[in-house]
Structure 1
Amino acid sequence: MVRWLPFILVSLLWVSLCLRDWRHGRLRRIWWWLGCWGLSALTWTPVAITLGGSVGQIQSFWWAGGIWVIWPLQPASVDASFWLNILMTVPQGLIWQYNHSAHRWRQWLLAGLATGLTLEGGQALFNRLVSLGRWVDINDVITNCLGVVIGAAIMLALQRRHATLK
């Protein structure tokens, strides 16, 4: 049960942020917090899903209660989970650009990097505090960032297309 504590506490944070924005009429921002909650559910719970792959061929080490991968783009690490990590953060990029339509690639990159570092940093912290049992992987930072950038670029293209149709 203690391994679920980080996700439960973070969920309470997301709920409070959603309620705050609801009261202030910032409904578009609620989608961002709901996306954060979804990413928290995928990365900060003690439930890890593996899709096969060559885990034994990835150079990693044990530190602070978890397995760390600090060498990016090892051939064995570019598997289905690599591509799914990109896909899982595309919605956050869509939402970011929807909420901040004046922002462009530098802000997308910062939002993506913040997303990836927050998710992996949370896994590292929670591995240390409650033995969450999740991998802390530099590839996930890269793929999460890329997913946000791709999502934001898609939304920008949709916004431009919509503007030309008016």
Structure 2
Amino acid sequence: MSGWIPFIGYTILILVVVVLNWSRFHKFWQRITIIGASAYLIILCRLCLTPIVFNFMTANRNLRYFHGVPYNLIAFQQIDMEWFLNIVMTIPFGILLYLCWPKLHPLTALIIGCIFSCFIEGNQFVCDFLFNIGRVADIDDVITNTVGALLGFIIIEWLDHTFLHKIIKPFTLN
């Protein structure tokens, strides 16, 4: 049961931030963006910070251990379905970055995506150490999550320069 503490804590934090900032956004479509962002972050916490009974890893990796907590610092040991799922998982983060800051430079989005990915993997490591949630902090996940975030940012930025601009604009928070 204690393995769910990180998820519950982050869910409460996300909801508190949404409630405290709700009045800043008066437009319906901006509130849809806020609801979507909070739902995405809660789902991401569920996917990354809760105990697992199964593992997506399809082959053994050369893992290291710190007090019984597994981690991988050797990149590209294998490219498997987990690689692509991590990219897909963080594409919405890149889209949300653009909706929050449409004038953000792609290099800055790359850096924010990398920091966010390190935050996820760092939390997995710490939460596995403290609560034994059965996660592996993996450098491949940092790379693929960063690529996914950048890809999402670039896709929505490109779409915003097409005829879809009028559809995307109301969802931006700036």
Aligned partner of 1:34 in structure 2 is 39
Contact kept? 1:21, 1:29, Cα under 8 Å = no
1:131 and 1:110 map into 2 onto residues whose CA distance is 29
Amino acid at match of 1:22: W
Contact kept? 2:121, 2:141, Cα under 8 Å = yes
Aligned-pair distance for 1:32? 3.1
Aligned-pair distance for 1:31? 3.4
1:92 and 1:48 map into 2 onto residues whose CA distance is 26
Q: Which consecutive residues of structure 2, in runs of 5 or more, have no partner in the other structure?
A: 168-174
Aligned partner of 1:70 in structure 2 is 73
Q: Where does structure 1 differ by over 6 angstroms across 4 or more consecutive aligned residues? A: 163-166
Aligned-pair distance for 1:107? 1.4
SS of 2:145's partner is helix
Q: TM-score, normalised to structure 1's length?
A: 0.88
Change (3 A) 1:34 1:111: farther
Amino acid at match of 2:43: G
Q: Which consecutive residues of structure 1, in runs of 5 or more, have no partner in the other structure?
A: none
Aligned-pair distance for 1:79? 0.3
Aligned-pair distance for 1:29? 4.2
Please provide the CA RMSD for this pair: 2.0
Same amino acid, percent of matched pairs: 25
Amino acid at match of 1:117: C
- Aligned residue pair count: 162
SS of 1:53's partner is coil
Change (3 A) 1:87 1:51: same
Deviations 1:123-151 (A, max 9, x none): 01111111111011000011111000000
1:144 and 1:99 map into 2 onto residues whose CA distance is 19
